[in-house]
Structure 1
């Protein structure tokens, strides 16, 4: 049995798969603690995983009008640069305080291995200080260079392998902006020497590559042939609702009252105008002649005054609701995309930012959903056309069903646990 600290920072999509992994490690007999933003303490407790709180400040920043505006603008290369500039002044001190939070959590746990999200900048340096084994856990393929596709977030120009690999080097240069802050943390807090490329920390202090475990299924993203042996794809890290989730009588009655509805939910992605988004969704459902369940999520939609053919819910576990609907419409977050595919349901991705465009394109290329409908271009007419396609095209439905069966046959958490145990054995 090993002491493991799993560290992640961000919204629910950045937390849920890491909680699933923590739970899997715990089930394998390890002493596991999850360190993440304070608001997710009850979520960890619900699943019986010990929890250490990190600051919520980064989420509070993204919840502000300025934060929402910045997120909505962070599409494409120049949009991402604009967002980074806009939030840098406020985010810099927050990230620095988060590094100290991670150090405090690690001092309390004294882990032998640290599994961490890329946003947890302190983690590999804290692991070095404590003599722990670092493992980078990711659910978006944005850390290991490949000739197959450009780094997520930069333009997917079809310029060949040279361009794709170049995008990873460009991103590494962007990370260098944080080197001063990270090295200050290394020297002043940890008592470690400065190091080149401190923010990215792709290698350990003695030059060995940090192992990267990807919680992604090869059913959607085949493993690039040029990845090194220390990069693995395990399958998705699913976290199902504990016990038997009980839906409201209203939801059960609605599902049983007619044809299977379409699920629509954008999580915490609200943008500047959630009312416009909701109007477009309702118009699309009515135009396509479909019933719908709208999940308002964490501020993502404003669903008042709906017709009888559309039901508003706050949320429902994806593993419960997705198998009961005809298709899923969402923002294209990694976890939501995975859940829809596992359920075998045709997908319409309406991406807002960064990796959501990547997943939307993969879904379309795999033939299990429509061409993405970016939220900035989302109209009732465009979404209605996508809904008609995914609910009437027999090929899309058959391919989605087949992919769902293959994904359900995988156990990404168990595979990731085995990978981590193997890394520990080698260390």
Structure 2
């Protein structure tokens, strides 16, 4: 069960494939926008209502903060019915991403079946770091902030859970609830104060597309010169006109070639050394690049680490500043450049710093080898087999 952008769905296609190969039947509940992605992975798609693109646009266009909250509340209300319907369509175990977790856990309890969390970013309070998206003010404050985030998350879902007949406690996970984090301990070591039921497994990689051939213009562009820099901001919707100018100027000033992914922002900078592309497998493209400039979403961050290429993180919101800081901390990226600080000058400096210091690429290659030796799906599979007993 997952809700959100493509990056909130793709890793579960690979996890689902692995579970299915072990003999389990797997359905992935996600928005209809991603039905093809799910089915192309050989998994059953169960529909969740709502369109994340339209949600972001509606919240952005809302005339006031109260109006934006009303848009999101309506989305969650509709999502609650969808999560129940997806669960009741024939399910023995619910694995849920962080976003819909309170709804998924309640739906599983109502159906009398077990559930567990499969999180792509840290979702359990700890003294060792603050929850993604918040600054660190010391161990005690980190823990308090993590608990506050869980409380706020529960409050967001309180109305829809109450309407569905849940108790007030339904929004809060019990301490012994199994939680699996699908990232590498080489990137985020497991905090010592997490409960025993909380694990860090290693990454879950998106399923490979069944048949995919790179478009001929991309093949020709890659062959025509040195490895390009990738630029893409995924599901973010920043000012695309401003970004056009910044990216085009950076390519000229830094003296690089670039493959630019349009994404939800509809990027389209022009230039002889720029190739525009749509959605394509990062697992294919990233190893062929010199570096990746991205918004530091969990999925794109993982794909860059797997490819063994350095990064220039440009975080925007939610967990992106956390992943951007981790990339810098583990030595594969210069200091992040938050989107609100992005200019042609700051991006050019970051690109040149990333490319001119060989330590970034060497560290990225080393970390890719560590990550490649991990088996993130194994822990989830073992859990399921223990349930079958």
2:107 to 111, 123, 126: 126
Shift of 1:86: 4.7
- 2:143 aligned with 1:150, yes or no? no
- Corresponding residue of 2:186: 219
Question: Does the 8 A contact of 2:332 with 2:363 survive in 1?
Answer: yes
TM-score by length of 1: 0.86
- Corresponding residue of 1:135: 116
3-state SS in 1 of match to 2:377: helix
Per-residue CA deviation, residues 266-301 of structure 1 (Å, 9 max, x unaligned), is: 112121x1121121112112111111111112x224
1:165 to 137, 143, 149: 143
1:300 to 261, 265, 268: 265
- 2:301 aligned with 1:372, yes or no? no
Distance 1:68 1:242 in 2: 35
- Corresponding residue of 2:351: 387
- Corresponding residue of 2:87: 106
Question: Does the 8 A contact of 1:260 with 1:325 survive in 2?
Answer: yes
Gaps of 5+ in 1: 1-6, 71-81
- Corresponding residue of 1:356: 320
Distance 2:187 2:255 in 1: 30
2:297 to 323, 330, 333: 333
- Report matched runs for 1:252-331 at 5 Å: 252-271=219-238, 273-297=239-263, 299-304=264-269, 306-331=270-295
Shift in alpha-carbon separation, 1:335–1:183, aligned structure 2, 3 A:
closer
Shift of 1:425: 4.6
Distance 2:206 2:150 in 1: 31
Question: Does the 8 A contact of 1:115 with 1:137 survive in 2?
Answer: yes
1:24 to 3, 12, 18: 18
Distance 2:62 2:295 in 1: 16
Per-residue CA deviation, residues 118-138 of structure 1 (Å, 9 max, x unaligned), is: 222321111111111110110
Tell me the number of residue pairs that the alignment of Structure 1 and Structure 2 aligns.
388
- 2:96 aligned with 1:116, yes or no? yes
3-state SS in 1 of match to 2:204: coil
2:215 to 248, 251, 254: 248
Per-residue CA deviation, residues 320-349 of structure 1 (Å, 9 max, x unaligned), is: 000001001101000100000110000001
Gaps of 5+ in 2: none
Shift in alpha-carbon separation, 1:396–1:46, aligned structure 2, 3 A:
same
Question: Does the 8 A contact of 1:265 with 1:329 survive in 2?
Answer: yes
Distance 2:26 2:154 in 1: 32
3-state SS in 1 of match to 2:68: helix
Shift of 1:94: 2.2
2:60 to 59, 67, 84: 67
- 2:59 aligned with 1:94, yes or no? no
Question: Does the 8 A contact of 2:60 with 2:68 survive in 1?
Answer: yes
- Corresponding residue of 1:421: 385
Distance 1:324 1:39 in 2: 28
Shift of 1:411: 2.3
- Report matched runs for 1:164-203 at 5 Å: 164-178=142-156, 180-187=158-165, 194-196=167-169, 198-199=170-171, 201-203=172-174
Shift of 1:406: 1.2
TM-score by length of 2: 0.94
